[in-house]
Amino acid sequence: MPEKPEVITVCKTLEKQILGKKIVDCHVYWDNIIVGKTNEFEEKIKGQTIEAMTTRGKWLVFFLSQDALLIHLRMEGRFYFRKMGEERSKHEHVVFVFENQEEMRFHDVRKFGKMMLVPKQDVFSLRPLNELGYEFDDPMLTEEYLLDKWQKKRLPIKSVLLDQSIIAGIGNIYDDEILFLSHISPFQRANTLTREEATLIIKNTRIVLEKAIQMGGTTIKSFESSEGVHGLFQNELAIHGRKNGICPVCGNRIEVTKIGGRGTYYCPFCQIEKKEAA
Ligand SMILES: [Zn+2]
């Protein structure tokens, strides 16, 4: 699933292709992708120009003439550009037609993607964006903030880092990387983490995400930002999906397990779970 660096890569890629373009028509072929009424979505978006783009958490935010269009790629959502009239593949579920007869098509094999229109001026203070926690690079993301959010969380830190209402944008891959670099066991309960460990998590979250953003994200089977656009961060992953199964720090075998249903890679020697204080 695309995480913050991949969503930023998609945003930058699309910006080059669609900024300033007017949407003259829109066709939705799979209703469940649209939050709200499909025909209202199709009608409302017609005639609006794409004026600016940004990201919030894992959402793409398109500022249109009147509304903000929010798109969540979820598992495998991606965009393809086609000439008007070119045959539509069965996985292209939403088609945006531009004035120049070019089409931007939302391609989503798993059909988990989501799109919605929100009043532009209130986009950050309305659902779903107002439910998100701080971005990784927000100066408000501090040790105090995390310790406060974690104090009642008895879940493993692996699961808690995926909670978008605390830090927005971390997904399964970067979660493993951040914990490995921090020498923290993914099983460690969030409420047992110390201030020093919170400091390490903030520091390593910034290091991992910034580097991944610079490299255009991670290209994995389910992610490709747009045709022909591939990230390179997969070559930098220290622990998640590591092919030889050997920890790059201590040389012992990496463990692969599931935590909260999510595939988790960790080194049982470098990331030792601390016993809870009595
Ligand atoms: Zn190790």
pLDDT, tens digit (0-9, with 9 covering 90-100), for 232-278: 787 789 999 988 999 999 999 999 999 999 999 999 999 999 886 54
Q: What are the residue ranges spanned by the domains of the chain?
A: 4-129, 143-266
Question: What's the angle, vertex CA 232, arms to CA 208 and CA 106, rounded to 5?
Answer: 100
To the query of whether residue 119 is one of the catalytic residues in this protein, the response is: no
Strand partners, 167: 134
CA 16 – ligand 1 centroid, Å: 42
pLDDT, tens digit (0-9, with 9 covering 90-100), for 125-154: 999 999 999 999 999 999 999 999 999 999
Which pLDDT does position 257 carry in this prediction? 97
CA 238 – ligand 1 centroid, Å: 10
Which pLDDT does position 227 carry in this prediction? 62
CA 253 – ligand 1 centroid, Å: 8
To the query of whether residue 262 is one of the catalytic residues in this protein, the response is: yes
CA 268 – ligand 1 centroid, Å: 7
CA 246 – ligand 1 centroid, Å: 8
Dihedral through CA 16, CA 126, CA 39, CA 2, nearest 10? Answer: 50
Q: Write down the pTM of the prediction.
A: 0.93
Which pLDDT does position 97 carry in this prediction? 98
Task: Determine if residue 261 is left, alpha or beta; phi over 0 gives left, psi from -120 to 50 gives alpha, anything else beta.
Answer: left
Cis peptide before 186 (omega within 30 of 0): no
Which one from 2, 5, 156, 186 is the annotated catalytic residue? 2
To the query of whether residue 3 is one of the catalytic residues in this protein, the response is: yes
Which one from 82, 88, 111, 262 is the annotated catalytic residue? 262
Supply the CATH classification number for the domain 4-129: 3.20.190.10
Confidence of residue 222 (pLDDT cuts 50, 70, 90): very low
Q: Domain 143-266: which CATH class? A: mainly alpha
Confidence of residue 224 (pLDDT cuts 50, 70, 90): low
pLDDT, tens digit (0-9, with 9 covering 90-100), for 26-38: 999 999 999 999 9
CA 182 – ligand 1 centroid, Å: 12
Which one from 4, 5, 6, 58 is the annotated catalytic residue? 58
pLDDT, tens digit (0-9, with 9 covering 90-100), for 169-187: 999 999 999 999 999 999 9
DSSP string, the chain: ---HHHHHHHHHHHHHHHTT-BEEEEEES-GGGBSS-HHHHHHHHTT-BEEEEEEETTEEEEEESSEEEEEE-TTT-EEEEEETTSPPPTTEEEEEEETTSEEEEEE-SS---EEEEEEGGGTTTSTTGGG--B-TT-TT--HHHHHHHHTT--SBHHHHTT-TTTBSS--HHHHHHHHHHTT--TTSBGGG--HHHHHHHHHHHHHHHHHHHHTT----TT--SBTTB---GGGG-SSTT-TT-B-TTT-PBPEEEEETTEEEEE-TTTSPPPPPP-
Which pLDDT does position 219 carry in this prediction? 73
CA 118 – ligand 1 centroid, Å: 46
158, 193 in Cβ contact below 8 A?
Answer: no
pLDDT of residue 157 exceeding 60, the answer is: yes
CA 171 – ligand 1 centroid, Å: 22
To the query of whether residue 58 is one of the catalytic residues in this protein, the response is: yes
pLDDT, tens digit (0-9, with 9 covering 90-100), for 74-104: 988 989 999 998 999 999 999 999 999 999 9
Q: For residue 136, what are the contacts with CB-CB under 8 A and spacing of at least 6? A: 4, 167, 169, 170, 205, 206, 209
Which pLDDT does position 68 carry in this prediction? 98
CA 180 – ligand 1 centroid, Å: 9
